[in-house]
Structure 1
């Protein structure tokens, strides 16, 4: 018996405004996709999980891929906004690195497993999925690179290389930390990763300054 079958279905028959119904369906779909993966999930499972009929589900999403892409768009935007918020949260550079690292840890820990849709999708051969995953990684790196370029005076291309490295390390380590059920508390994990990253990034002098950070 699957995790979805073991979970009591939501009651049917409640009439909701269109936006609320759409959000409900997305929430149900997320639970099913995270638990089963895209290929094993069925629209029947999602409708049952949401407590609606299949015709109601199809009124909002013409097919399973449409539903998956809507979820992917939602959670890619969530990650991007988290990174941008972290970068804007302080002007102290070491704290800014820590805040950005923590944004990735918070994302993998608190999004109900949705990070798996972004980072561990079983649908990466689908061009529309691959394009979205690549785009959010690029957008996060661009946001980080703008800060690096502004602070160090490095070129756009140089700053982008560093930003891709920082973002990549953050999400890979955060995913490992979660999946391994590490005994290291999140705050400590972020501090360790920040120390590692800072020892490298701090070697680049501030733009227009004679010394280091």
Structure 2
């Protein structure tokens, strides 16, 4: 299904898998069922990679780097699994959309937990920052891959880490007495600089 859902035929899929078409249909009643099973597997792979990156250290700068690298590793995988998740030609199918949204949300949730715990920001604020970091990682990793990897992966990860770290490092650790540049809420609910 590397060439897309609509272009893939069950005969071709069976041949590439090294099984007969009847065997394939014993396990997957239709092409959509097979696609969803593959999508579930590849979504879980990215979610787990992000969780592992976040758990790999307690040094937040290294957490940012490990998380960025997890996205780069995911898009660089020779199997092209990321295309099923992020470049599907079937995103209007509700079951596919649900899975794509799930991977984005669960990666952001994992990042959000660390941000909220470390900064003391509200869950909503932490989720916005986490969504931004996850989106940044995903989009830049895909752009890097599409640029024929003209910048070596380690260097690309370091560049993105520097960009992300300079932003997120502005939020001090919860309980520290460092000043930061986040907007304070005014009495009217607006923000001040």
- The TM-score with structure 2 as length reference comes to 0.91
Once the 2 structures are TM-superposed, how far is the Cα of residue 88 of structure 1 from its aligned partner?
Answer: 0.3
Aligned to 1:145: 112
Aligned to 1:133: 100
Which whole-Å CA distance do the structure 1 matches of 2:67 and 2:150 have between them?
Answer: 22
Aligned to 1:183: 150
Which whole-Å CA distance do the structure 2 matches of 1:187 and 1:211 have between them?
Answer: 31
Q: Assess if the C-alpha contact under 8 Å between 1:206 and 1:212 holds in 2.
A: no
Tell me which of 88, 110, 116 is aligned to 2:55: 88
**Pair 1:114 & 2:81 matched:** yes
Q: Name stretches of at least 5 consecutive residues in structure 2 with no aligned partner.
A: 181-193
**Pair 1:101 & 2:75 matched:** no
**Pair 1:57 & 2:36 matched:** no
Q: Name stretches of at least 5 consecutive residues in structure 1 with no aligned partner.
A: 1-32
Give 1 or 2: higher helix fraction.
Answer: 1
- The TM-score with structure 1 as length reference comes to 0.82
Equivalent residues in 2 for 1:190-205 (5 A)?
Answer: 190-205=157-172
C-alpha change, 1:122 and 1:68, in structure 2 (3 Å) is same
Aligned residues: 180
C-alpha change, 1:154 and 1:174, in structure 2 (3 Å) is same
Q: Assess if the C-alpha contact under 8 Å between 1:202 and 1:212 holds in 2.
A: no
Could you list the runs of 4 or more consecutive aligned residues of structure 1 that deviate by over 2 angstroms after TM superposition?
Answer: none
Which whole-Å CA distance do the structure 2 matches of 1:53 and 1:188 have between them?
Answer: 44
Which whole-Å CA distance do the structure 1 matches of 2:112 and 2:179 have between them?
Answer: 18
